[in-house]
Every structure is written in C-alpha cells, then in structure tokens.
Amino acid sequence: MSNVYQIAIDGPSGSGKSTLAKGAAAKLGIMYLDTGAMYRTCGVCALKTGIEPKDEDAVKKMLETMDLKIKFEDGIQHMILNGEDVTGQIRTPEVSRAASDISSLPFVRTAMVDMQRKIAADQSFVVDGRDIGSVVLPNAKYKFFLTASPEARAKRRFLELEQKGTPQPLDEVLKDIIWRDKQDSERAASPLIKVDDAVEIDTSDIGIEETLEVLLSYIKE
C-alpha cells in the first residue's frame, strides 16, 4: 500500500481540471476519478424525477432510493444511474445548474465524499473537483489548484458545447460560469477554496499540454 498515492486537482468550472486530470492519469499510469460527474448524475436524477434540486426534503428522499454506481471500462469512467448508463447525459447546461444546486446540500456532499474516499483508498488516483484537497483527500500527496479568467473558461466551454452538438451563445455561457463561481465559492458546505499546500496553475493563456508539463514537473513517482 506504500506506493498508493493521490493527486488532488481543484478549480472552478471550465478551468480544465478534467482534461488535465485525465492527461496526468494517463501519463502516470494510474486511475482518474471525476467527482463532478457524481454530482452531475445526482442532478440528472433530480431532473428525470421532476425534483427541484434545492428542495432538501425531496432530494433526501431521492437519495434513499437512488442507485448510483461508477464503472471503469478501459480507464473510462461511466456513471450508472438506477441501472442506466447516463454518462452521455451529464454535460448539458441544464444538468450543470442542477448539479451546482444539488451539490450545495451538505447531506449530498457527505454521501458523495464518503463514496469518493472509498474509491480512492486502495489504489493511486488523480481526483478532480472543487473540494478534493480541502475535504475529500486532505492528505493527498500532491495538490493542485487550477484557475483561469471567466472569459477564458467561458470560451473553452462554448467550444466544448459546440463540438458536442449542444451549442449555447457565448454570453450565456459566460453568465453561467460567473453564476457557478459565486455559488461554488459561497456555499456553506465545502466551498471552492485553494488550500495552502496546493500548487496554483493559471491556465488562462496556456494550453493543456503546457499545463500538463507544469503539473508533472511536481510529481516525483
């Protein structure tokens, strides 16, 4: 177990966390866990069942019957909700907002954090999210905090949505990014923060390959 270690990557929406985490995991030959996908799956469940994501009582009841599983196939994470693979349904703007709302509920975060810790306990993982270094894996061997201007992040998300065939006007994407930043940093439960021992990387003006090089330069394995 001594060679098991975790890499925590935190940052706001659109900072490139997931792309970087996947790239780092591939380079290092370890697993990657996308925690945001777990909250997005909770958001999908709320939308499918007509539940308001901020309604605490309704969400509590939903969690009691919701069957959420993570499957890794060829290193790719699949989100299974009540027996259905919903991986392709979790990246829409509607689900993003539902996920942001539902993830602000403390009992939802408690349930997801417990699952995340169990998954990352027995083998090396790169884990990305908004509270990995501060709450989920405070003892992670390596911690990084990605940041970028709202405009740079909105442009990336705009292009990503366009490529997926679900385009949104750029000004709407920027507005959503700013709204999520406020919600993520001001929520009472596990707000988005940079912990003191995290290395900060500003990705506003550098590409993913250069960012990956910077991150890997800190890893000594």
- Set out the domains of the chain in order of their start, with CATH numbers: 6-216 (3.40.50.300)
Residue 75 has a pLDDT of 78
Helix (H) or strand (E) holding 17: helix 17-28
In the chain, the N- to C-terminal Cα span, in Å, equals: 14
Region 64-74: mean pLDDT is: 93
Residue 165 has a pLDDT of 85
> Does residue 164 or residue 94 have the better pLDDT?
94
Confidence bin at 116 (pLDDT 50/70/90): very high
Residue 14 has a pLDDT of 87
Confidence bin at 3 (pLDDT 50/70/90): confident
Region 11-33: mean pLDDT is: 92
Query: What angle, 0 to 180 degrees and rounded to 10, lies between the N-to-C axes of helices 56-65 and 35-48?
Result: 100
Task: Compute the Cα dihedral for 152, 190, 106, 39 and give only its sign.
Answer: positive
Region 205-212: mean pLDDT is: 92
| Spatial separation of the C-alpha atoms in residues 9 and 146, rounded to whole Å | 7
Residue 82 in this model has a pLDDT that exceeds 60: yes
Region 35-61: mean pLDDT is: 96
pTM across the whole model: 0.85
Residue 131 in this model has a pLDDT that exceeds 80: yes
Residue 179 in this model has a pLDDT that exceeds 80: yes
Confidence bin at 45 (pLDDT 50/70/90): very high
Residue 2 in this model has a pLDDT that exceeds 60: no
